[in-house]
């Protein structure tokens, strides 16, 4: 499955750097057919990066996200923004559909809960733990790279999914 992974945020704003930090790990893992794209924010041009992808994963930090993270399937939705900058993932999918006149690939978001977003803040202790939970979850996604599996996981409560991912990661490390 050809996968495009977007990670965005600003590490100069504390926990807002969670998306790029997780994306960095994904890039280092060098999974086949996985492309990673990092930016400070999503823009309309990112719609073109989806062309040819079989699936898309958007990773970022969220203020009101359930801890440790939320994983959901998303679809195209016209953005409410008055500008073409700082789009939501759903708006990027909408730009893709309108520009290329076809349905975008299946898309998912992984949003890790952040606590501290002020300029100059460092990554909080809670965010470090949530980054580890997100990383364990992504490793599970990559082990079962199928849309059906991802849809099933998107329907599960995040706490249970995070516990299962952490347990599998620990048992794999002991082998």
pLDDT tens string 9-64: 998 898 999 999 999 999 999 999 999 999 999 999 999 999 999 999 999 999 88
Beta strands (DSSP E) in 10-115 are 34-39, 55-62, 69-74, 107-113
Domain ranges of the chain: 3-174
**CATH code for the domain defined by 3-174:** 3.40.50.1450
Kind and range of the H or E element at 18? helix 18-29
pTM: 0.86
Among all chains, which residue has been given the structure tokens 């977007």? 6
């Amino acid at each position: 499955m050809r996968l495009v992974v977007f990670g965005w945020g600003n590490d100069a704003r504390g926990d807002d750097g969670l998306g790029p930090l997780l994306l960095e790990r994904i890039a280092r893992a060098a999974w086949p057919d996985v492309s990673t794209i990092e930016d400070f924010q999503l823009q309309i041009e990112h719609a073109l990066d989806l062309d040819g992808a079989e699936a898309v994963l958007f990773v970022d930090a969220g203020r009101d996200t359930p801890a440790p993270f939320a994983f959901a399937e998303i679809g195209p939705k016209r953005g409410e923004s008055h500008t073409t900058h700082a789009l939501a993932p759903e708006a990027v999918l909408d730009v893709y559909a309108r520009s290329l006149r076809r349905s975008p690939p299946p898309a998912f978001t992984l949003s890790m809960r952040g606590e501290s977003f002020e300029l100059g803040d460092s990554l909080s202790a809670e965010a470090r733990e949530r980054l580890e939970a997100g990383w364990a979850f992504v490793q599970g996604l990559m082990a079962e790279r199928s849309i059906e599996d991802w849809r099933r996981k998107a329907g599960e409560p995040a706490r249970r999914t995070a516990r299962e991912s952490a347990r599998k990661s620990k048992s794999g490390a002991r082998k």
